[in-house]
Amino acid sequence: MYDITMRQRALALLGQGLTISEVSRRTGASRGAIREWRLRTEQKRDLYAGPYRECPRCTELPSAPEPRDSYAYLLGLYLGDGCISPVGDRSKMVWALRIACADAWPGLIEQCAAAVGAVRPGNKVRIIQRIGCVEVNSHSKHWPCLFPQHGPGKKHERKIELHPWQQEIVNGFAEDFVRGLLHSDGCRFVNRVRRPLKNEDRWYEYPRYNFTNVSLDIQRLFTDALDRLGVEWTQMNARNISVAKKGAVARLDEFVGPKY
Ligand SMILES: [Zn+2]
């Protein structure tokens, strides 16, 4: 048995282009062991590059999930109206990510399913008709690694904090994150106001966005992202954040809806 330092040194020397015999001579490890380390490393790399790539979080050197824009969007959807629950036999440690998609946003089911498929390309994405909504559902062992906010009980009953690697993604892809939050817990609606004039009444339309979530932590993540994007917002009451100013609504329309 060789220790991990020896293995790392051998892999580093191989990486510099040395042959197995040379590495063996320099490190003292057997050629058989070095061959096996190289094979295992190559297999790992292939796994990572291929459709069944392993989880970016539970490896020796954790990295952020890719693609980051899809992850930011999916994180918004998950924090808004998603849940992670065990599938069948708990000992198998397989989890279902479920995201309820309301009818209010055209194209949401497709966008949601595409984001799930992009972040975990090896896992099947199911679209299930439920009463009043469509659920996008996918099974993986790694949903809790990718969404460490998972925990027992309701999201608003526990503290929701982003890990530094998540915060970095959210900062870089604030538009995708905001779109995900609004697609799960928000709506865009039009206020119609009548102005009586001399000969006729005239109607004016004011589109606005509303975000509803009981968790103050999640509201804060939403408003921090809006601040980052320079979108003005108002706290309406304990649960609701409103975006109503013309310029702010126009800015959200660029990447949230109604046509997006
Ligand atoms: Zn994992």
Task: Please give the CATH number for the structural domain made up of 68-253.
Answer: 3.10.28.10
Please report the pLDDT score of residue 18 as a whole number: 80
Over residues 140-146, mean pLDDT: 94
Say how many Å lie between the CA of residue 29 and the centre of ligand 1: 31
Amino acid letter at 125? V
Say how many Å lie between the CA of residue 260 and the centre of ligand 1: 32
Distance CA 137, CA 116 (A): 9
Please report the pLDDT score of residue 83 as a whole number: 93
Highest mean pLDDT: which of 21-30, 119-128, 198-207, 244-253?
Answer: 244-253
Structure tokens at 31: 């050629």
Confidence of residue 44 (pLDDT cuts 50, 70, 90): low
3-state SS class at 180:
helix
Say how many Å lie between the CA of residue 22 and the centre of ligand 1: 36
- Does 168 have pLDDT greater than 90? yes
Point out the least confidently predicted range of 27-36, 83-92, 189-198.
83-92
Backbone angles phi, psi at 58, to 5 degrees: -105, 60
Please report the pLDDT score of residue 213 as a whole number: 95
Beta-bridged to residue 126, according to DSSP, are: 137
Please report the pLDDT score of residue 9 as a whole number: 84
C-alpha angle 181-172-253 in degrees, rounded to nearest 5: 45
Say how many Å lie between the CA of residue 95 and the centre of ligand 1: 11
Say how many Å lie between the CA of residue 121 and the centre of ligand 1: 14
Say how many Å lie between the CA of residue 26 and the centre of ligand 1: 35
Q: Kindly tell me the burial class for residue 154, based on how many C-beta atoms sit within 10 Å of its own C-beta (0-12, 13-18, 19 or more).
A: exposed
Side by side, which strands form the sheet with 234-235? 186-196, 201-212, 240-243, 234-235
Distance CA 248, CA 113 (A): 28
Say how many Å lie between the CA of residue 257 and the centre of ligand 1: 33
Distance CA 68, CA 30 (A): 41
| Mean of pLDDT over the chain | 89
Confidence of residue 45 (pLDDT cuts 50, 70, 90): low
User: What proportion of the chain, given as a percentage, has pLDDT over 90?
Assistant: 58
Say how many Å lie between the CA of residue 61 and the centre of ligand 1: 12
Question: What is the tens place of the pLDDT at every residue in 59-115?
Answer: 777 889 999 999 999 999 999 989 999 998 777 789 999 999 987 787 899 999 999
Distance CA 119, CA 69 (A): 10
Confidence of residue 6 (pLDDT cuts 50, 70, 90): confident
Say how many Å lie between the CA of residue 57 and the centre of ligand 1: 5
Say how many Å lie between the CA of residue 204 and the centre of ligand 1: 51
Say how many Å lie between the CA of residue 33 and the centre of ligand 1: 27
Confidence of residue 216 (pLDDT cuts 50, 70, 90): very high
